[in-house]
Amino acid sequence: MNKEENPISSRLAVLTSHLRKSHQTAAMASEKEAASPSDDSPTIFDKIINKQIPANIVYEDEHVLAFRDISPQAPTHILIIPKLRNGLTGISKAEEKHFEILGRLLYTAKIVAKQEGLDDGFRLVINDGPSGCQSVYHLHIHLLGGRQMNWPPG
């Protein structure tokens, strides 16, 4: 009877594995579709900058805006964005003219992390392009903290 159970268990394991892979592939496909770059039309972040959409803002200066992510992946999950997109839709689109704002974004991450009490550490993430699951084509840094991060990510 054990010999009969093993093939069935084995088949169930294979089917379950295929179903999981199929579900994961579908989820990844929908994220990639959502992450298709658009023209220069305003992004959701432009609307937040212009106060057309409310956000829980934690930091703002002349060049940078930081606000809590509406779908947090950690106890602290903050998005840090440049107020002026200036062609900087993703890190792969960075040019020498973006040198100052890129440094300012990282320094702002340090300021916000300290403000949030993330003294034990935090993670910064920049998703880029469809394979990187970038969902908004306006460069942004995810500041994640408040729990132990795992490695490797994703």
CA-closest candidate to residue 91, choices 63, 132, 55: 132
Q: Is 63 a known active-site residue?
A: no
Catalytic residue among 77, 138, 140, 142: 140
Residues whose CB falls within 8 Å of the CB of residue 88, separated by 6 or more in sequence, listed in order: 82, 94, 98, 101, 138, 139
SS3 content of the chain, % helix, strand, coil (to 5): 40, 15, 45
Active site (catalytic) residues: 140
